[in-house]
Amino acid sequence: MYLFYKYKQGRKWVARLPHDGDLGAELEKFAREQGIKVGRVEVIGAVKEAVIGFYDQEKKEYLALKLARPLEILNCSGNLSLKDGDFKVHLHITLGDRDGRSFGGHLMPGTILFAGEAVIEELEGPELHRGYDPQTGLPLWEKEH
């Protein structure tokens, strides 16, 4: 099933994220404070430690990998929408270590910022709500409410 909605560019922010903050939680807090119901996010910077996830499609669950060391954020991008009446960020992240190795996956709670710079773009149009998708087991966007 395809869902297509048309949006106009809304407000746009450039943000310095707080040292020692949880990356996902800080972005959700900002979205809640600004009332951003649909948006796009990009982040660069560094983390003190990270938790990334890989979705096991057969078991329909995330497997978490904790990276308990400083890493550079090579790329982090995703979106903002609503889930269960609250603001929800969905980000994928690629991280690099001092030896040039990279690690990537779904951003999970416990990714602690050393330094972060974000671009947050609000999209004006229909609200996007996440709901349980039985085919994948994931909270995916649903048709308009």
* 53 within domain boundaries: yes
* 145 within domain boundaries: no
CATH number at residue 56: 3.30.1330.80
pLDDT tens for each residue of 19-74: 999 999 999 999 999 999 999 999 999 999 999 999 999 999 999 999 999 999 99
**Cα distance from N-terminal residue to C-terminal residue, the chain:** 16
Q: How confident is the model at residue 145 (pLDDT cuts 50, 70, 90)?
A: low
pLDDT tens for each residue of 78-114: 999 999 999 999 999 999 999 999 999 999 999 999 9
CA distances from residue 130 to 133, 134, 140, 143 in whole angstroms, order as listed: 9, 13, 5, 9
* 120 within domain boundaries: yes
* 141 within domain boundaries: no
* 113 within domain boundaries: yes
Which residue matches tokens 């996956």? 105
* 48 within domain boundaries: yes
Number of domains, the chain: 1
* 135 within domain boundaries: no
Q: What is the pLDDT of residue 90?
A: 98
Q: What is the pLDDT of residue 3?
A: 80
Domain residues for the domain of 94 are 9-126
Residue 2 in this model has a pLDDT that exceeds 90: no
* 34 within domain boundaries: yes
The CA distance from 123 to 139, in Å, is 20
Residue 1 in this model has a pLDDT that exceeds 70: no
For residue 24, the surrounding DSSP H or E stretch is helix 23-34
Q: What is the pLDDT of residue 129?
A: 96
